[in-house]
Amino acid sequence: MSNILDKIFADKKKELPDTQSKTPLSEIKQRIKDQQPALDVFKSLEKGKTSRIIAEIKPKTPFKGELRKGFDAKAIARDYVEHGAATLSILTESNYFGSNIEVLPEIRKVATIPLLRKDFIFDEYQVFESRAYGADLFLLIATWLDQSLMTDLLCQGKELGMPALIETHNEWDMEKAFAANAELIGINNRDLTNGKTDLGITRRLAPMALQEKGKVLVCESGIHGREEIEEFEGLGVHAFLIGESLMTAEDIPGKLKELLGHGGE
């Protein structure tokens, strides 16, 4: 494989038939009927008096390894909700990020805010699966997906009342997001092919993303402090998806409050 992103997707493709065999689509669709309607992430991420943070839960990454000793997804989710997160991002990939989709319904028990299923999605089964396990929105990676497939999956999610966060990393990705009529656009400062992070990506792409009205823009990866959030809010960014700086913090509630600008409270 040419890079880690290709390898992750290749392994996901190998896994999918077994997943479908264990839990057929008919069973997944039945489970969707038992779910409450998806929570409104657009309302959750509306600009207000405080910054909007999508706080991420992940045990490890292929770039940094294990992120937190004594990892407890449910306890972390509770801390995030109680201390001001607007939305939660839940990694559900097992081989490289050490998680699984079963964590979604567990976190839903303690979270009353929208849940983003963050995984490597390329098939409509995974979109149905996301809603069946309680996700309110799901991730699509524009760098890897071709235009037509990404648009189809985005539309599939809308039919289920569940938007997609279209993740971009360059101008070509952004053009694909526009062509798919994405309303929720992420700019990932991390290059998923090699793990390198550069905040200059958001500085370069934010003006392009905001050329079209009505888009909700999310800055992803590499945010470590309040100063960076204030800079990017000044560029028009609506929300911030933050994972590692929270997951590695000694005091998660304290770090979240600092990022929100409540450090002195």
Let me know: does 154 contact 137? Beta carbons within 8 Å: no
The residue annotated as part of the active site, out of 129, 167, 183, 258, is 167
Of 151, 188, 148, 147, the residue nearest 167 (C-alpha): 188
More confident residue, 64 or 163: 163
pLDDT at res. 7: 94
| Spatial CB neighbours of 128, under 8 Å, sequence gap ≥ 6 | 25, 28, 29, 32, 156, 160
**Interval 116-161: pLDDT, tens:** 999 999 999 999 999 999 999 999 999 999 999 999 999 999 999 9
The residue annotated as part of the active site, out of 93, 183, 220, 228, is 220
Within 10 Å of residue 108's Cβ, how many Cβ atoms? 20
Whether 15 is catalytic is no
**Interval 199-220: pLDDT, tens:** 999 999 999 999 988 899 999 9
pLDDT at res. 48: 75
Which ranges constitute the DSSP H helices of the chain? Answer: 4-22, 25-33, 41-44, 73-82, 103-108, 124-132, 147-159, 171-179, 200-209, 226-234, 244-247, 252-260
Structure pTM? Answer: 0.95
Whether 220 is catalytic is yes
Residue 2 has pLDDT above 80, yes or no: no
Residues 109-115: what's their mean pLDDT? Answer: 96
Whether 188 is catalytic is yes
Residues 23-47: what's their mean pLDDT? Answer: 95
**Interval 72-89: pLDDT, tens:** 999 999 999 999 999 999
Of 246, 251, 195, the residue nearest 225 (C-alpha): 246
How much of the chain, in percent, has pLDDT values that exceed 70?
98
pLDDT at res. 250: 92
| Spatial CB neighbours of 88, under 8 Å, sequence gap ≥ 6 | 54, 55, 56, 57, 77, 80, 81, 107, 111, 113, 114, 115, 116
Query: Phi/psi zone of residue 82: left (φ > 0), alpha (ψ -120 to 50 degrees), beta?
Result: alpha
The residue annotated as part of the active site, out of 188, 215, 245, 258, is 188
- φ, ψ of residue 219 in degrees (nearest 5): -90, 125
Tokens of 149: 């497939």
For the four alpha carbons of 23, 115, 215 and 119, in that order, the dihedral sign comes to: negative
The residue ranges of every structural domain in the chain are: 4-260
Whether 167 is catalytic is yes
Of 117, 108, 172, 118, the residue nearest 146 (C-alpha): 172
The residue annotated as part of the active site, out of 118, 176, 215, 255, is 118
Using CA atoms, how far residue 73 sits from 24, 62, 78, 161, 226, in Å, is 27, 18, 9, 26, 24
Residue 265 has pLDDT above 50, yes or no: no
The residue annotated as part of the active site, out of 12, 44, 51, 58, is 58
CATH match for 4-260 among 3.30.70.360, 3.20.20.70, 3.10.20.30, 3.40.50.11030: 3.20.20.70
The residue annotated as part of the active site, out of 56, 93, 129, 258, is 56
Q: Please give the helix or strand (H or E) that residue 217 lies within, else none.
A: strand 216-220
**Interval 183-195: pLDDT, tens:** 999 999 999 888 8
Confidence tier at 263 by pLDDT (50, 70, 90)? low
Whether 221 is catalytic is yes
The residue annotated as part of the active site, out of 221, 228, 244, 258, is 221
